[in-house]
């Protein structure tokens, strides 16, 4: 299995011939090293409706005839944009040809901002994603604060890799993300949602160093860089 980081919270995962992309924010992402037209995807997974997570979902889905998996209200709204969607909701799980998806809680917002109309379209609840691919389980926390029910995620799932926001201001910062890594029982952590904009500047290497005393492996991926899991 290969996982590639594209900056912010966007990850591309290739597993046994299937191609997935999560929170595909590429255009407008100053850290992204690729363009939506270069992305090949069978499925697009979106955690919530904020513009820096929905991003290029519609363009990528239309180009690839991909199915978008998202929380229900967001999936309905995306379907109105002319793409295939599979709606889910918090606590629900579903098996797909590539593996299994379960949506977890996330404490955040989920409003899509229409700059031209100066409107915010509220699209339900945000989510995290538990993604089981073969024998590996990946937890993409989405945008979230630290919350104690992360302990339940660790009790119910054997988390091989956690993708955790560390940017602070809008989400967990490094201290809370370290505790989140402990609570979900992550064997390894890749930080996300940092350094895209000045308000979320962080040192990911310092975060990874802080995981070592907890016995948790950490890995920093530069935008465009891939790793095997």
Specify the CATH number for the domain of residue 11. 3.60.15.10
User: How far, in whole angstroms, is CA 160 from its chain's centroid?
Assistant: 15
Structural domain harbouring 89 = 2-228
Total domain count, the chain: 1
pLDDT per residue over 110-146, tens digit each? 999 999 999 999 999 999 999 999 999 999 999 999 9
Looking at the whole model, is its pTM more than 0.95? yes
pLDDT per residue over 42-58, tens digit each? 999 999 999 999 999 99
Residue stretches of the chain with pLDDT short of 70: none
| Helix ranges (DSSP H) in the chain | 51-54, 57-64, 72-79, 150-156, 174-183, 204-211
């Amino acid at each position: 299995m290969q996982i590639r980081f594209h900056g912010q919270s966007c990850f591309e995962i290739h597993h046994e011939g299937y191609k997935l992309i999560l929170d595909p924010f590429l255009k407008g992402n100053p850290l992204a090293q690729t363009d939506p037209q270069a992305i090949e995807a069978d499925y697009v997974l979106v955690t919530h409706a904020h513009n820096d997570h929905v991003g290029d979902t519609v363009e990528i889905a239309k180009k690839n005839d991909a199915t978008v998996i998202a929380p229900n209200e967001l999936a309905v709204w995306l379907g109105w944009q002319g793409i295939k969607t599979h709606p889910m909701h918090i606590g629900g799980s579903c098996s797909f040809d590539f593996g299994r998806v379960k949506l977890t809680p996330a404490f955040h917002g989920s409003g899509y901002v229409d700059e031209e109309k100066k409107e915010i379209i509220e699209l339900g609840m945000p989510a995290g994603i538990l993604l089981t691919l073969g024998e590996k389980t990946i937890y993409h926390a989405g945008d979230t604060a630290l919350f104690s029910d992360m302990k339940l995620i660790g009790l119910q799932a054997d988390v091989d890799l956690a993708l955790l926001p560390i940017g602070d201001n809008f989400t967990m910062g490094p201290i809370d993300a370290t505790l989140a890594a402990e609570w979900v029982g992550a064997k390894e952590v890749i930080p996300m949602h940092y350094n895209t904009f000045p308000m979320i500047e962080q040192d990911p290497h310092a975060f990874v160093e802080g995981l070592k005393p907890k016995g948790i492996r950490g890995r920093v991926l530069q935008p465009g860089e891939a790793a095997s899991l």
